[in-house]
Structures are given as C-alpha cells and as structure tokens.
C-alpha cells in the first residue's frame, strides 16, 4: 500500500510540474516578444527552450513511469478499457498523442530553433525572420501540448464527479 501512495504522489507531482509550463510559457512568451531585437533576447529564448525541455522531460517521464506501474499494480484499472474507466482510457489516448507530438514535432522544431539561436547570448547579430517563423511554429505546438496536458489533468481531477 505504501508503494502505491508514493507512486501516486510522484504521479501527481509530475503532472503539476508538466502543467506548470502553461503559465510559465505564457509569461515567458510575453517577455520574449517584448525583448524582440533587444539585448537579452537570446538569453530569454534559451531559458524558454530549457524550461520547456526540462518540464516536459520531468512531467512526461514521471507520468509515464508511475502511470504504467499504477495501472499494472491496481486491479481496478487497465490499459485502454473504455467500457469501465472511460476517463482513464481517454487520458491514455491523449498521452499517446502527447508522446507522438513531442517526439515527431516538438523536439525537431526545438532543435531547429536552438541551432539558429547559437550559444552566443551577447551576439549583436540580428535574428532572421525565418527564426521567428520557426519560433512561432514551436509556440503553436507547445500550446497544443499544454492544452492536452490541461485536459488530461482535468480528466484526472473531475472523473469522480461523473
């Protein structure tokens, strides 16, 4: 019983960490937009990329590992069983979509943005318009992922009411 409680706490903490990207993302985007073309823009962009990467890794990995173990250990839950736990099966389908989006779209877009950004934060070379197009594309996919994470979180905390 203690293992289940620990797994559940780690699962919830991972979800909160992953979900915390939503407000941080919105705030950092405002700062990045306000600093466009100014000194410090590259540093903000680097912080944004690191934050997105770190929260995504911690959140997704924690949710995946603890979720799989919890479903394997608890007798009343199972994988993709819509007839009994439709809320859990829906969460699992969304998680598969999140994994696909992360590995097929988010990571390649983030690598392209990181490559163009370079590591010279004090560089006076202006970022090209193509960089900002790639950044907007990255922001779109991060928004979609944040919405799906929020939906998953809401399914988890409201399933007992339905």
Residue 108 is predicted with a pLDDT of: 93
The pLDDT tens digits of the residues spanning 74-122 come to: 877 778 877 778 888 899 999 999 999 999 999 999 988 888 887 555 5
Predicted TM-score (pTM) of the model is: 0.85
Q: Distance between CA 146 and CA 98 in Å, rounded?
A: 9
Cβ atoms of residues 3 and 73 within 8 Å: yes
Q: Distance between CA 123 and CA 130 in Å, rounded?
A: 18
What is the three-class DSSP state of 161? helix
**Per-residue pLDDT at 62 exceeds 70:** yes
């Amino acid at each position: 019983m203690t293992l289940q409680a620990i797994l559940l706490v780690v699962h919830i903490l991972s979800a909160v960490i992953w979900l915390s990207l939503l407000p941080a993302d919105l705030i950092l985007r405002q700062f990045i937009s306000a600093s466009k073309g100014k000194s410090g823009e590259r540093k903000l962009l680097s912080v944004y990329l690191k934050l997105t990467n770190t929260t995504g890794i911690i959140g997704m990995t924690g949710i995946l590992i603890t979720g799989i173990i919890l479903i394997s250990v608890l007798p009343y839950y199972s994988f993709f069983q819509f007839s009994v736990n439709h809320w859990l099966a829906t969460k699992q389908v969304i998680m598969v979509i999140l994994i696909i989006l992360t590995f097929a779209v988010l990571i390649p877009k983030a690598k392209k943005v990181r490559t163009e950004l370079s590591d010279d934060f004090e560089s006076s070379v202006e970022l090209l318009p193509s960089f900002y197009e790639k950044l907007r594309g990255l922001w779109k996919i991060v928004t979609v992922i944040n919405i799906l994470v929020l939906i998953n979180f809401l399914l988890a905390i409201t399933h007992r009411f339905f």
